[in-house]
Amino acid sequence: MPEILDLSNEAWLYHKPPKHRDVRKLFSGFWTLSEAIEERSKRVSILASGGTRELQKLEEVLAEAVGRAPSTVGCCPVVARRFQVFFTSRALKVARRQEDEGLRYTFLDKDDAVPFGQLHSVEWVALHLKFRRRLERHLGSRVVVYGMGEVEADDSRGVWQPHYHVTIHGATDARLKALRKAHYRAKRTGIRPMVRSKPQLLEGWLAYASKMVAFDKIPTHGGPSSRCRLPPELSREYFQYLAARRPTSFVFSMNCRIVKGSLRT
C-alpha cells in the first residue's frame, strides 16, 4: 500500500470563500455536512471488513475524526467536501474573468485505463501533460481550461477509467471539431470519448467535476450504462488510492491558476 498522506496542513482545508463564490450557498444540490459525516461512517465500516493491516490502519485514521471535524486523509468525505468548496471558489474566480461563458466537456481516452487492482499505477502528472499537449495543439495555446481528473470503475472491461471534467474558455467550434477528430472520435457503439455537457449552472458543474467519488459503471441491455456504489473490494482500493494522493494532484488547469500552494503560511 502506498504511504498514507497527512493532509492536515493543506491550505485549501482552511479556505473561506466569499458568499458569491461559496458553492454551499449557490448550489442547492450540494451535499450537506451531515451527509458527508454519514458517508464517512460507511467508509469506516467498508474498510473494517477488509482484513489487512494496511486497511485497518486507514480505517483507524479515518475513524479518529470527531463530529464535524475532517480527518487527515483524502478518502474522508468531509475532506473531499471541503476541497470541493475550495476548488469551486477558485474556479469561479477564474471564470468571471473570461469573455465567454465557457463550455463544459468530459474527455476520456480508453488507453489510459488500468486493470482492477492497479489503480495505484495511475499517474496524473503524465496524464495532465498528455491532455495539455492535445489541447494546445488543437485549441491553441491561449485557451483557458480548468477542471479535475477522476476515475470510474468499468465492469464491462474490468478497468479503472481515468477521465476529465473540464470547462473551456476561448475555443472555437472548428478547433473543438479538430480535437475530436484527432483524439476523441466516437464509434457508433461503446464509449463516447468527448462529451459536451448539457447547459447547467457553472457552480453545479464544478462541484460535480471535483466530487472525488468513484462509481461502478454497469452495462445495461439496450441502453446506457448505469452507475451505482462501488462494491466493497473496489471501494477499498479506491479509498487507498485517495489516501495516497493530494486532491490538488487531480486538478488540471491551463493558462490559469486554481491551486496556489499546499501548505499553510
Which cell numbers in the block locate residue 207?
Answer: 462541484
* Per-residue tens of pLDDT for the chain, all 265 residues: 578 999 999 999 999 999 999 999 999 999 999 999 999 999 999 999 998 999 999 999 999 999 999 999 999 999 999 999 999 999 999 999 999 999 999 999 999 999 999 999 999 999 999 999 999 999 999 999 999 999 999 999 999 999 999 999 999 999 999 999 999 999 887 889 999 999 899 999 999 999 999 998 777 666 667 789 999 999 999 999 999 999 999 999 999 999 975 433 2
Q: Look at residue 264 in the predicted model and tell me its pLDDT.
A: 35
Q: What's the pLDDT score for residue 221? A: 66
pLDDT at 216: 87
Q: For residue 50, which phi and psi values (nearest 5 degrees)? A: -75, -35
Please list the residues that pair with 145 across neighbouring strands.
Answer: 168, 254
The C-alpha cell of 31 is what? 451535499
d(CA 18, CA 89): 8
pLDDT of res. 218: 76
Confidence (pLDDT) at 265: 26
- How many Cβ atoms sit within 10 Å of the Cβ of residue 6? 11
Overall pTM > 0.85: yes
Angle between helices 202-209 and 77-95 (to 10 degrees): 140
